[in-house]
Every structure is written in C-alpha cells, then in structure tokens.
Amino acid sequence: MYIYELELKVRDYECDIQGIVNNSVYQNYLEHTRHEFLEENHISFAELHEKGIDAMVSSIEIAYKTPLKPGDNFISKLYVTKEGVRYVFHQVIYRKSDNKLSIKAKVNAVVVIDGKLATALPEFDELVARSEVKSN
C-alpha cells in the first residue's frame, strides 16, 4: 500500500520539556518525506513554480499515537490518492525499535496553475496511479 519509505532519527532539539517530539515537529517530518518522495520521482517544486504551477497543502489531519523521543529512529511512509481536485498524501510514522505507530496523517494538497485552481497535474496523477497499482 505505501509506495515510499524514509528513515529518519529524532534530534534532541526537536523535543519539548516533556522529553518527547513536539507536535509541530511531526509536520516537518511529514513535509520532508513528501519532498524526498517527489524529488526521487523527479518532481521539483522549483521547476514547477517556474512554469506557473504551485502545489500547496490545503489541510492536514494528524492523529498522535505513540510519542517519539530523542535518538529514536523512525520510518516515515506514504501513498497518494485523489479526491476531487485534492491530492491526498496518506502518511504514517513508525518507531523503528518496536514498529509502534507514532502518527497517522492525511495531508490534502491542491495545485494552482497561473493563479487558478487546477483539477489535475499529470506528474501527480502518475503518483496516484502508482499508489493504486501497489494497493491492488
């Protein structure tokens, strides 16, 4: 089902006074995973922007399950679906040591071309198709 994985490690400064990863940091992990995924698939935000195409997050829904702590290695995974004009990045983060789910997220993104909401972007539609093939 997941078509991409990225392994990362929690850095001390990402944690709050409780000794766990601050909730806002998870959004950085999710974004970094999406950017690495797109880069691996030869999709560049800079190149798209030069063509008048901007992909942007419209909303994020995160369920926090098991906190990560300093030094924890974790695996960030994703797959992509399409709902109307939105591209939905379904993302999870698992703590590597025990494979416990840390967070589950649904990131909605839209594409704007020359300032107007687009119904599709071929490069993203290809990622959706790959996700669908993987889940079948």
- Euclidean distance between CA atoms 81 and 72, whole angstroms: 29
Q: Scan for tokens 């416990």, then name that residue.
A: 100
Q: Which of 12, 16, 98, 125 is catalytic?
A: 16
- pLDDT value, residue 130: 87
The pLDDT tens digits along the chain (136 residues) read: 899 999 999 999 999 999 999 999 999 999 999 999 999 999 998 999 999 999 999 999 999 999 999 999 999 999 999 999 999 999 999 999 999 999 999 999 999 999 999 999 999 999 999 888 876 6
To the nearest 10°, the Cα dihedral for 82, 52, 59, 77? 60
- pLDDT value, residue 1: 87
- pLDDT value, residue 94: 98
CATH of the domain at 83: 3.10.129.10
Query: Is 125 among the catalytic positions?
Result: no
- pLDDT value, residue 88: 97
State the residue range of the domain holding 18: 4-135
The structural domain count of the chain equals 1
